[in-house]
Amino acid sequence: MQTLQTTSLRVSENQLFILDQQALPQASRWLEANSVESLVGHIHALRVRGAPLIGLSASLLLALLAERGLTRDALLQALEILRASRPTAVNLMNNLDRMKLALAEEDFVPALVTEALRLIEEDKQLCESIAVAGSELVKPGSRLLTHCNTGGLATAGVGTAIGVIHRAHQQGKIANVWVDETRPLLQGGRLTAWELGELGVPYQLITDSMAASLMAKGEVDAVWVGADRIAANGDVANKIGTYSLAVLAKYHGIPFYVAAPQTTLDSQCPNGDAIPIEQRAASEVTGVAGSFGAVQWAPEDAKVYNPAFDVTPAALISGWVLDTGVVTPEQVAGGIFAIK
């Protein structure tokens, strides 16, 4: 396969490397991801994260494994193991469905390589289209609030919600971005703050519980988030805490926008109740661990509920910003996401 480089993925000398998003922002460290076992481990540990990026990394690995001589049966087994690595984010399933079609071709090795590279280029274009469509909704002087991480770290391109924010900043529309720290693993504090700083976008980091007070003071003009899955009725699964923001935004009369590529749509999923929600380790709540060591602040026997995602009902969403344009609540109510 040709040499390839995105913000978080690298293919060099037929080896796949991922940027360790657990190490950011203190260190920029590239890790090998040359086996199904290693990539699944990176996905579970959130060293690879972001719905689009997870699907793209799995697709690239399959193509590289094919070039190394794995049989069709072995590749199919690898594909299904990768499919099960992240149950909530549907981009992974959609990308692997396309790779499975390529695997069925007679000359499957070049077909897999071509399809994986096509997915990378498509994601770049999807992100650009989302940024263009979404930036038109941002008013001059906007103070925006965002949750989790939705930039180039999570995609092959400029990102989804952060792509919109970056484009709006280039147009001189951004006064400030409120960045939720975002559990699990403080992805907003570690990753979004870092990305916005690199892009020169003015921001302030807040804890997840501070959004309500900012909205009450009139300090938030709109909320922009990404998505891991959009159901046929418009319900959206995204990082835990997104639903809370949507409820708060509705109460305070603030627009709440979801930016995502079409690969995030799941027309086969009727509503949010049908979206599987990943449960994560209790240790992410009871303490913290890193290069500095480990700290336990909760009782050793504390019982923990730690879902990685929640579901925001379509009724709370002002607009779904896709690569095809802005979808309105009226269009969603009319069944636009259920149409194949």
Per residue in 247-266, pLDDT tens? Answer: 999 999 999 999 999 999 99
Instruction: Answer whether residue 199 shows pLDDT above 90.
Output: yes
133 pLDDT band, cuts 50/70/90, is: very high
Task: Kindly report which listed range (78-92, 109-123, 277-291) carries the lowest average pLDDT score.
Answer: 277-291
Q: How far apart are CA 325 and CA 276, in angstroms?
A: 27
Q: Which CATH superfamily is domain 137-338 in?
A: Translation initiation factor eif-2b; domain 2 (3.40.50.10470)
Which residue ranges make up each domain of the chain?
A: 4-128, 137-338
pTM of the model: 0.93
pLDDT value at position 294?
A: 85
Q: Is the pLDDT of residue 233 over 80?
A: yes
Mean pLDDT of 73-78: 97
CATH placement of domain 4-128 = 1.20.120.420
**Single-letter amino acid code for the residue at 178:** W
- Looking at residue 293, what is its pLDDT? 78
pLDDT score of 219: 98
pLDDT tens digits along 3-58:
999 999 999 999 999 999 999 998 999 999 999 999 999 999 999 999 999 999 99
Q: Is the pLDDT of residue 95 over 90?
A: yes
* Percent above pLDDT 70 for the chain: 99
Q: What tens digit of pLDDT does each residue of 321-333 get? A: 999 999 999 999 9
| pLDDT attached to residue 184 | 84
The pLDDT mean for the chain works out to: 95
> What pLDDT shows up at residue 52?
93
**How high is the pLDDT of residue 340?**
61
pLDDT at site 291: 62
User: Per-residue pLDDT averaged across 133-155, rounded?
Assistant: 97
Alpha carbon distance, N-terminus to C-terminus of the chain? 32
Residues assigned a catalytic role: 228
Q: Tell me, what's the pLDDT at 89?
A: 85
Look at residue 185 in the predicted model and tell me its pLDDT: 86
HEC-encoded secondary structure of the chain: CCCEECCCEEEECCEEEEECCCCCCCCCCEEECCCHHHHHHHHHCCCCCCHHHHHHHHHHHHHHHHHCCCCHHHHHHHHHHHHCCCCCCHHHHHHHHHHHHHHCCCCHHHHHHHHHHHHHHHHHHHHHHHHHHHHCCCCCCEEEEECCCCCHHHCCCCCCHHHHHHHHHHCCCEEEEEEECCCCCCHHHHHHHHHHHHHCCCEEEECHHHHHHHHHCCCCCEEEECCCEEECCCCEEEECCHHHHHHHHHHHCCCEEEECCHHHEECCCCCHHHCCCCECCCHHHHEEEECCEEEECCCCCCCCCCECEEEECHHHCCEEEECCEEECHHHHHCCHHHCC
Instruction: Output the pLDDT for position 289.
Output: 77
User: Quick one: average pLDDT of 308-337?
Assistant: 97
Q: Is the pLDDT of residue 155 over 70?
A: yes
d(CA 174, CA 142): 5
Read off the pLDDT of residues 296-309 as tens digits, 9 standing for 90 and up. Answer: 999 999 999 999 99
Residue recorded with tokens 């690898």: 78
Flag whether pLDDT at 213 surpasses 80: yes
- What local confidence, expressed as pLDDT, does residue 115 receive? 98
Q: How much of the chain exceeds pLDDT 90, in percent?
A: 92
